[in-house]
Amino acid sequence: MRKNRRTLHKDFRILTLDDDYIMTSTLQAYFQRSGYYVDVVNDPYQAIEQVRNGKYDILLLDFLMSPVCGDQVVEEIRRFNKEIYIILLTGHKSMAPPIKTIRDLDIQGYYEKSDRFDQLELLVESCVKSISQMRIIQNYKNGLSLMMEALPQIYDLDNTRSIYESILSITLNIFQGDRSFLMISDFTASQGENELHLLGDITEEEVRDIVKNAHFDGQKVITLADMLLAPIEDEEHKIIGILGTDPGVSPEYVQVQMMEIYIRQISSALHNSQLHRLVSTKNEELTKAYEQLNESYVEIINAMRTIVGERDIYTRGHSDRVSAIAADIAGQMKKDKHTIERIRLAGLFHDIGKVGISDKILLKPDKLNEEEYANIKKHSGKGAKILSAITLFNDVVPIVRSHHEWIDGRGYPDGLKGDAIPEESKIIAVADSFDAMTSHRHYRSNLSLAQALDELRRGKGTQFAPEVVDAFLEMLDEMGEEKAMEKYGTGKAVEEEGENE
């Protein structure tokens, strides 16, 4: 059943500030009727403290107030809270805040007061949509992180009973539910041979009733009786069990996606456990299972790489572009197919370490301080550590680690110089810098193609390997500016991407 708007809005908290008591009371009544939680305050200084100490999603405040104006209130709030969405209210168009103020203070919009709140409600709903998308991304990121931490427990090949217990407890942790079950059986056998494991307030009778009515029909995840259900399959895609969990609320898209990833881990883990007990006679199957495990790790890392890009529209697609540019440079330098493919892969994952950098630093709209920059510089080492867990990526680990090293030794994380830097890292460095310079960012506009190329020339022999820069310049000269900009998607205004979402 679809949620109505009141139900959808109940998870969003609004604070409304105006020195006019009638206005705040009217706004509170209007938005409470739509299902929002609304607090009111009439003193600007009290409002600042409430935002500091409370958890509000949206702030509605008057522009002209006493003793301080709305823009001064916002300026103070932005010192400690970058996430809250803010809408300024004005009495007349002539009293609207300057566009520069709106941009500088990251204000989401303003509304001219009237006896109708239709336009204001639309602005609020637009904020709610954006907040919902950010929550989905954050929940997806948190769920994937929990899965990564849980993999060693799930793949405990020495103790099948421990695997079952781990699966259920991790399920509750990931999906924030209060009950889950795991039924393992040969579905060609009789009902009595099912092996059932329960966690939380759920009975065997409830589970058997749910399972009896579960029809997957090729689907990986279904919702039944408010529970997420997923089939556990063997290597021949035959159903050998069912995992179910109750997330406490109607399952959302992101939870379904996480369940699909998680159930593949479980299927692989249980299959590995069976193979481990037969290792003396089934070495070939065991090898295949470990390959599937590697593929599962790759799947999660790819999902994490996507999340890094989705966290910020200003860097979306950056890794894909760096991968393409770097591979083309390697081709221009006549590298063999294996080397080009290795560079392409390293380009895709060169920023994977940023999944561990906080949003406050990664999405900061102005210049980083020394401590924040030191934190950002850790991403290449973190990325190498993440990839080193996968045998398949052993040959790209040093490339990812060293893609911020400089030829003169002033780079990071190891201060390598000259020939000590992997050649593939030198190629990634040029591609990475070029895309960064020609892309819009929070804190600056993009450089033109000519300006970016001038910067690369100036960095030859200090930051960049001269032979790589020369190969890139030759390639762009042969390709032509128009084709290069079209192929690599550089220089596009971020507003264009945002408007199409």
Residue by residue, DSSP assigns 407-475 as TTS--SSS---GGGS-HHHHHHHHHHHHHHHTS-BTTBPPPPHHHHHHHHHHTBTTTB-HHHHHHHHHH
Q: Which of 355, 305, 312 is nearest to 442 (CA)?
A: 312
Write down the pLDDT at residue 499: 36
**pLDDT tens-digit map of 287-299:** 676 677 667 666 7
Place of tokens 């991790």: 170
Q: What gap in Å lies between CA 87 and CA 110, rounded to an integer?
A: 5
**Is the model's pLDDT at 92 over the cut of 90?**
no
Element (H, E) at 180: strand 179-184
Paired tokens of 309: 């890009």
Element (H, E) at 61: strand 58-62
Give 447's pLDDT tier (boundaries 50, 70, 90): confident
Q: What gap in Å lies between CA 265 and CA 307, rounded to an integer?
A: 19
Cα-trace Rg, the chain: 27
* More confident position, 431 or 69: 431
Mean pLDDT over each residue of the chain, to the nearest integer = 80
Instruction: Specify the amino acid at residue 15.
Output: L
pTM score, whole prediction: 0.43
3-state secondary structure of 383: helix
**Is the model's pLDDT at 10 over the cut of 90?**
no
Q: Which of 132, 105, 494, 137 is nearest to 313 (CA)?
A: 494
Is the four-CA dihedral 344, 348, 349, 354 of positive or negative sign? Answer: positive
Of 42-56, 149-163, 365-379, 471-485, the one with minimum mean pLDDT is 149-163
**Is the model's pLDDT at 189 over the cut of 50?**
no
